[in-house]
Chains A and B, each alone.
Chain A
Amino acid sequence: MIQVKLVFAACLIAATLPASAALNVFACTPEWGSLASELGGDKVTVFNATNALQDPHRIEARPSLIARARSADLVVCTGAELEIGWLPLVLTQSGNSKIQAGQPGYMEASSYVELIEKPQRIDRSMGDVHAAGNPHIHLDPRNVAKVAAALSDRMAALDSAQSAYYRERARFFLQRWAAATAEWEKRAAPLKGVPLVVYHRNLSYLVRWLGMREVGNLEPKPGLPPTASYLVELLAQLQRDPPKAVVRSAYNDPRAAQWLAERAGIPSELVPFTVGGTERAKDLFGLFDDTIERLLGAVK
Chain B
Amino acid sequence: MRIPHPILGLRDQSEFVYLGDACLLERPDGMQADALQKMTEYAYQRDNCRGLHRELWFHEQGDRAWLVVTRNTVTHEIVKVEFANEVASHD
A and B assemble together: no
Instruction: List residues of chain A with CB under 8 Å of any chain B CB.
Output: none
